[in-house]
Structure 1
């Protein structure tokens, strides 16, 4: 007795009908959303807001490529005769930006690393260790963000002039007129925000992971360094991007606590492009674009982690 198999080539499997209880993301109809007037209005509004925020940057980039005489005669919203990058070369060389870039990195990079490192310590203690007063401690760090920074400029100025440092740390022999003063202020004022974000993120991590580590004999340091901190990578990347942008763009604290012009950050380099009697605003626009490039590069490098850190906790499951 022989069995005759059907030799016809089987066709593609029929699509499985959507189950009534299936999530909307798995239904074929949910993948293609119709463009309703409401959705069109939302997208149009978001595009308008985005262009509103980008307009000053685009105008500065456009002006930096044109000669000042041309814009002075025709206006900034006229068509150009020629475009060139001459202003960028002039802005970079005339302002001595290389030195100021190094000064900024000496402030921003240690400041970001110290702020995230110390804030993760406090956040881990508040979120994971069973200690009394953890909620009060978190409230104190959060309340520090409500204090206007400018109100303690004078006390900090007096304090930093009285804190001695060895010569290899500060040529002024005090904390004043050194990078340490600016880094300390940046870390101190950014700690509250970092602790608040990291503590709330650590609370969302499954407690079973730490319980399994404790059963395996992991101590507090191993729970923090080897288990919790790697899981906080998206949040740390998002915070690191924000902190670098804030510390990089800050000029107030460096202006107050640094008197030596050779130690000032890159934001001060723009003042070197201003003339005593005349200011070429197209040259100043080119310098502003150059100053803003590092923050744009940092965001592009950490974009994936930054977006992941912002969207964590937006959905469950």
Structure 2
């Protein structure tokens, strides 16, 4: 007796039920192995953070002997000043994400819903900007911000250096290209009848964007917001380059405060690294569905 068969919607051909499950064994094994490889550093960091330095020095890093506790986390939080640095990260991440999504959605709407001479060219230019490594633009941007004069009431340095504005502006500029590319592909998948009907009813361009297209892009915006929060929050290079005052640095640079002058407590540093990673882990767990959707967003059409 032959095995029951099902008809696939994509090909229209019937195939045995059991064959479909067997085809994915290799994929599942591969994904499991890769997940374990990715989790090993995280779990090892957590293991090191839970051990006192005295036990590590006595028994070694690869021993399970000794006690475990959260003393390193408490010491890292107090010594590193994480409460202040977390707030600095919020002041940088939230405006940068909002501005990035706003400008990227405007640009995506222009290149996806209207046909004009420089449509594709402008989209390519925005996307190509992501191919430049940050280190290439570090010196020009530093000099540009250094000579951008501001009143001392707005900046104690008299320029854009040592301000949150410089980091927010650069993070926004670097992320707009990626978000524009993804959102434009998503908007292209929306039916053109929506904007055509709105145009017949007398709706202007802004009304079409704000009242019709943007509400339909909520899943895409949620996925991009999840990704952008993780990208910008984890950024280490730009804040370290533009901000000289230690009390204004984001939390990703707070681990430097845990470094000793002559000896480093790696258990304490591991605890600080785990504290730094907690917000991104929480965001991923809460918005996992949007995060996974963001990995394939815009790949089906456009």
- TM-score > 0.5 by shorter chain: yes
Q: CA deviation at 1:315?
A: 6.1
Residues 146-180 of structure 1, C-alpha deviation per residue, up to 9 Å, x if partnerless?
12221121221111112122344322231111111
Query: 1:201-226 CA distances to partner (integer Å, 9 max, x unpaired)?
Result: 11111111222222222211111111
CA contact (8 A) 1:100 1:263 kept: yes
CA RMSD of aligned residues (A): 2.6
The runs of at least 4 aligned residues of structure 1 exceeding 6 Å deviation read: 18-22, 24-34
Separation in structure 2 between the aligned mates of residue 40 and residue 210 of structure 1, nearest angstrom: 45
* Change in 2 beyond 3 A, CA 1:72/1:221: same
- Partner residue of 2:162 out of 173, 177, 184: 177
Structure 2 CA distance for partners of 1:220 and 1:34, relative to 1, 3 Å: closer
Structure 1 partner of 2:198: 213
Kept in 1, the 8 Å contact 2:7–2:15? The answer is: no
Deviates most, 50-59 or 142-151? 142-151
Q: Does 1:163 align with 2:112?
A: no
Match status 1:122 vs 2:134: no
The CA distance in 1 between the partners of 2:94 and 2:6, in whole Å, is 53
Aligned to 1:3: none
Give the conservation status (yes or no) of the 8 Å contact 1:65–1:84.
yes
Instruction: Say whether 1:297 aligns with 2:282.
Output: yes
The answer to whether the aligner puts 1:203 opposite 2:188 as a matched pair is yes
Query: Could you say which residue in structure 2 is the equivalent of 1:6?
Result: none
SS in 2 for 1:105: helix
Q: Give 5+ residue unaligned stretches, structure 1.
A: 1-17
Q: Distance in 2 between matches of 1:272 and 1:170?
A: 25
Show the 5 A alignment for 1:60-75: 60-75=45-60
Structure 2 residue ranges without an equivalent (≥5)? none
Q: Alpha carbons of 1:30 and 1:215: their partners in 2 closer, same or farther (altered >3 Å)?
A: farther
1:97-124, Cα deviation, whole Å (9 max, x unpaired) = 1111111111111111111111111110
Taking structure 2 as the reference length, what is the TM-score of the superposition?
0.90
What is the TM-score when the length of structure 1 is the normalising length?
0.86
Q: How big is the shift at 1:262?
A: 1.1
Please say which of residues 167-176 and 292-301 is displaced more in the overlay: 167-176
- 1:133 to 2:118 alignment: yes
